[in-house]
Amino acid sequence: MFITNHLHYMAILKNHLEFSGGLGNLSAYRLPGMKQTIIRTKGGADKEKILKSPSFKLTRYNYTEFSACAKLGGSIRSSMLALAPLADYNYTPMLTSLAKAIQLLDTENPRGERNIFLSRHKHLLTGFSLNRNTAFESIVRHPLQYSIDRDHKEALIQFPELMPGVNLMLSKQYPLFRFIVNLGCVNDMRFIGKKYPVGNIVNKSVYTDWFHATQLFKAMDVSVQFNQKVKLSEQMTMILSLGIQMGVPVTDTVVNPVKYGGCAKIIDVA
């Protein structure tokens, strides 16, 4: 059933037997262009060797820097956690990739110690979408006015009058909608004391009332503000994000938010 090739640690699975993943000391996978499943024994360098051997020095540097990118990506996600239910894909890896692109801009420090100065390149976050299937602009088809005031730790969004079917294109599947305004704040990821410590993550969300999807939405201003005890430094980036969420009424006073029903994006940074 297992037909080995010239490498003793690999085999091709035949006789209509199929499985993928790991099984004991075996791993099964397919290569592009092959119909057969490849079987090989699990191997690789042991943990102790990777941690201490000079030959794995580059591996350690890469792992350390990647962990910093993953931490920053997770921090950004946490800073706008209220909008996570509106996402239609796992966007955290995209934030990690963005963090890596910023990390590569640090030419002052050696590999393995490069910083991620989000505060210097924060404009790269603007327009980041939590959705692939539905863009926010495809629903709210009218320019929005917004601003972030770092001195007062506050953000303001001015919603215009929105008319269903004209500049507000909502799904007919759900009868209610509301806006979620989120203001978050994350620190740069800096290499300090042989590691990348995670700084404080701040976030504040404001939910509007529920509105009927078939009625005129009147213009309104929505502001969100951090607690005045929050201290902002130059290494901290404020992130303003906005989402629209659909809802289904349960009673006259209770509404169930629809998971994945809506969309969201980062609209401004400061």
pLDDT tens digits for 218-240? 999 999 999 989 999 999 999 99
Give the three-class secondary structure for 160.
Answer: coil
Better-scored residue on pLDDT, 91 or 2:
91
Same domain for 25 and 139:
no
Same domain, 71 and 174: yes
Q: How many Å apart are CA 257 and CA 241, to the nearest integer? A: 18
Residue 230 is predicted with a pLDDT of 92
Percent of residues, the chain, with pLDDT higher than 90: 73
- What distance in Å separates the CA atoms of residue 88 and residue 37, rounded to the nearest whole number? 32
Number of domains in the chain: 2
3-state class (DSSP) for residue 35 = coil
Whether residues 211 and 255 share a domain: the answer is: yes
At 38 the pLDDT is: 62
Q: In this predicted model, which residue has the larger pLDDT, 56 or 31?
A: 56
pLDDT tens-place string over residues 45-103: 555 655 556 666 677 888 899 999 999 999 999 999 999 999 999 999 999 999 999 99
- 149 and 130 co-located in one domain: yes
**Which residue pairs from 225-231 have beta carbons closer than 8 angstroms and sit at least 24 positions apart in sequence?**
225/152, 225/153, 225/154, 225/155, 225/183, 226/153, 226/154, 226/183, 226/185, 226/202, 227/153, 228/153, 230/153, 230/185, 230/202
User: Tell me, what's the pLDDT at 12?
Assistant: 47
37 close to 18: Cβ distance less than 8 angstroms: yes
Question: Residues 241, 152: one domain?
Answer: yes
Domain that includes residue 98, residue range: 49-269
175 and 100 within one domain: yes
| pLDDT above 60: residue 120 | yes
Query: What percent helix, strand, coil does the chain show, rounded to 5?
Result: 25, 35, 40
Judgement on whether residues 38 and 53 belong to the same structural domain of the protein? no
Q: Give yes or no: residues 39 and 53 share one domain.
A: no
One domain, residues 63 and 9: no
**Could you tell me if 31 and 95 lie in one domain?**
no
Q: Are residues 154 and 80 in the same domain?
A: yes
Do residues 17 and 112 share a domain? no
Angle between helices 92-103 and 57-79 (to 10 degrees): 120
- Pick the closest to residue 244 from 256, 231, 257, 230 (CA basis): 257
